[in-house]
Structures are given as C-alpha cells and as structure tokens.
Amino acid sequence: MPVAVTMADIAAVAPAGRPLVICDVDEVAFRFVVDFERYIEENGYRLDAVSYGLTGNIKRLSDGVAVDQKTVGRLLNGFFADCAADQEPVEGAAEALAAAARRADIVMLSNLPEAQAAIRAETLARHGMPYPLVANTGPKGPAVAALSARARTPIVFLDDSPTNLVSVRDGGVATHIVHFIADLRFARLAGDIAGIHLRTSDWAEAAAFIDRALDAAQSEHERL
C-alpha cells in the first residue's frame, strides 16, 4: 500500500479519472476511543466522556483530576507508538469501502505521527482495507484539495473531527461530507455542523449515502 507523509508525496498516491472516497481512519475505519480508553486505563488514567473531545475528559485514576492538553498529547503519542498495529476495524467499514472501490478510488487520510504511517497502512491492509494512505498533519482541507485535483466527481469525505470537516467544507472543493463517529458516547456529544450532508455511526448508512452520490453523478455524466 503506498504511503504519503507530506503534501509533496500526495501526487504519488492520488488517483485520477474516477470518483474519489477520502476516508479518515480513527473512529471511522478503525476503533479508536475504546482502544485508547483501554490503553490509558493501563497507564493510570480513565476516560470520562462528558463533553466532545479528549482534553478535559481524561482524568487520573489516583485523584480524578482532569489532565492538561500536554498530557493528553503524550498519551496519544504513546498509544499510537504502542497500539497502532492492534487497532480493530469499525464494523462494516472494510465491506463498505470494498463495495465503493468497485466504482470509485479510495484514499485513507489520517492524522497520526509520521513514524506510525507504515504500520497503520499494514494494519489497514490486514483488515481488508488495502488503500493508499496519506499521513496528514493539521486540518485536512488542503490534503483533500490536492487529492481531488485529478479525480472525477463525486468526492466523498468521511471524518469524525469537526475541525477537519469544516476545513474540507470551506476548502473550495465540491465534496459530499459525512460526519462519522463510531463511538456512540462521542457521537451523542458532537454538535451539529452546518454544511454536513450526513451524520452517522453506521457504515450501512454511510455506504448507502456513497452509493446515492455515485448514482447521481453517473446519471448526470450519462445525461451530458
């Protein structure tokens, strides 16, 4: 599976000429929250999901005090270093993406440390998602624009992060945007985002949305 770790590398993995599905990994293709929760409990912390996000919701087991963003970052880096090869897929993700791949190109777009990009690609492939991976840093709008430059419509983007969804929404690419959060606790806590076309935790629902987008574009292409 090709792996891109910089914007300059995206050209090496960006497909051309077909519709494009750009899919996040954590909480979309792979379980993240439940695996991260188990990891931090093993390291003296617990997750108390009372608001959307991690900062403010991770507390020390010893005294119940919420830890700061720096500690959250350290725990995230430790999780990816220790557990990137062990994450499990979200139910239905591999099957839905395989079905979409018959009609569109698939690219996985993930914000994770560059050092774990290769192992993430290998783990995705092992779980039936052998698609090109881009290891992104920061909001995903620029990467989506670069990936979409040679694709044919429609472009479908799936992600759990409001920051990334807004970045893509405002990035100047006509994109069908899916807010996908597999963990139901955080799905309930997430606020609505203007301009999002579907909000779901269910890959069957997401797959039906992708099919409709592809069908509509095909009908329009045939009409022209």
Domains and CATH numbers, the chain: 3-31+89-223 (3.40.50.1000), 33-83 (no CATH)
CA-CA distance, 26 to 46, in Å (whole number)?
Answer: 19
Amino acid at 98: A
Q: How far apart are the first and last CA of the chain?
A: 35
Cis peptide before 154 (omega within 30 of 0): yes
Segment (H or E) for 99 = helix 93-101
- pTM confidence score: 0.93
pLDDT by position in tens, the chain (length 224)? 666 666 767 877 877 789 999 999 999 999 999 999 999 999 999 999 999 999 999 999 999 999 999 999 999 999 999 999 999 999 999 999 999 999 999 999 999 888 889 999 999 999 999 999 999 989 999 999 999 988 998 999 999 999 999 999 999 898 999 999 999 999 999 999 999 999 999 999 999 999 999 998 766 665 55
CA-CA distance, 126 to 143, in Å (whole number)?
Answer: 25
Q: Is the dihedral of CA 24, 30, 32, 33 positive or negative?
A: positive
What is the CB neighbour count within 10 angstroms for residue 58?
Answer: 23
